Amino acid sequence: MVTAAALLAAAVVLLPARVPSSESSSPVPAASTAAEASPGSPAATNAGPTIDVSIGHAGFHIGEPAPALVVAQLGGGQVNLANLAGRPVWINFMQTTCPPCVDEFPLMNGFAARYENSGLVVIAIDVREDEGAIAAFAQMTNAQFPIGLDPAGTTAETWSAVALPVHFWVDRDGIIRAGALGGIGPDIMAENLGRILPGVNVTP
């Protein structure tokens, strides 16, 4: 099993972390690659085997309502999670300078296209970068989903996204059902999508 420390050293961008307020979220403990829905939850019953180097449910707020997420959108407009109530949402906090982000975007494009008819919404949130760099990255990766802008990192802090990239999967009721640190492949992506798309045969 790959250790959490090795994964972070190889694939994770560490952000200057400020401790989130007690009103928004709990701090992230030692890092990992994946966390699964709580045992006994509807999402857990649909899940297959998990590759688990877990930081625990608290770090990803598994089983909790998703925090607020309202940011400007690249190219104009706004990304507001509240406006997506009733739809399953995959949220990826990222930066253009992290190698795993480059690798993950094409995979995310594919899942977004394949499961759009199932209601899936994929959103990337760029943290603490210049909008010009983000626009160039979106063009390079042919991003097919909205990219939100978090230039001060305040939204990332609210979500305890202190290491990038990090993923959250939110179900139709606005509950976080899964989370994973980046550097993941299509198997983990499909597994966690299955937690927010019950009844849908999600394949890598």
170 inside domain: yes
109 inside domain: yes
> In the chain, how many domains are there?
1
Q: CA end-to-end span of the chain, whole Å?
A: 21
167 inside domain: yes
Digit-by-digit pLDDT tens for the chain (204 residues) are: 333 333 333 344 444 433 333 333 333 333 333 454 433 333 333 333 332 333 344 578 899 999 999 999 999 999 999 999 999 999 999 999 999 999 999 999 999 999 999 999 999 999 999 999 999 999 999 999 999 999 999 999 999 998 899 999 999 999 999 999 989 999 999 999 999 999 999 999
Phi, psi dihedral angles at 189 (to 5 degrees) = -60, -50
Residues spanned by the domain of 98: 25-196
166 inside domain: yes
Please give the model's pTM, rounded to 2 decimal places.
0.75
Q: What's the CATH code of the domain at 151?
A: 3.40.30.10
